Amino acid sequence: MSVVKVIEVLAQSEKGWEDAVRQALEEASKSVKNIKHIYVKNLQAVVEDNRITVYRANVKISFLVS
C-alpha cells in the first residue's frame, strides 16, 4: 500500500512562470524525497510601470511517504 502526501509551495521568479515552478520544485526537493507530481494551482504576476516584474506560482507537490 502506498501513501502519498501533498504540500503546497509558493515560489517566484523574475524570469517567468515556468522558472517559478521549477524553483518551487528545486527548493522542495532539498527536504522532500520521492516527489512524484507537481500541480500548478495558481499563477500570479507583479506589475510595475505596465511591465511584469515578478512571476509567482502556487503549486502542490505530491510525494510518496515511506
For residue 1, with 0-12 CB atoms within 10 Å meaning exposed, 13-18 middle and 19 or more buried, which class applies? exposed
Distance (Å) of CA 8 to CA 1, 49, 50, 51, 52: 24, 31, 30, 28, 24
**pLDDT of the chain, 66 residues: tens digit per residue:** 789 999 999 999 999 999 999 999 999 999 999 999 999 999 999 999 999 999 999 999 999 997
Domains of the chain: 3-65 (3.30.1660.10)
Q: What is the Cα gyration radius of the chain?
A: 14
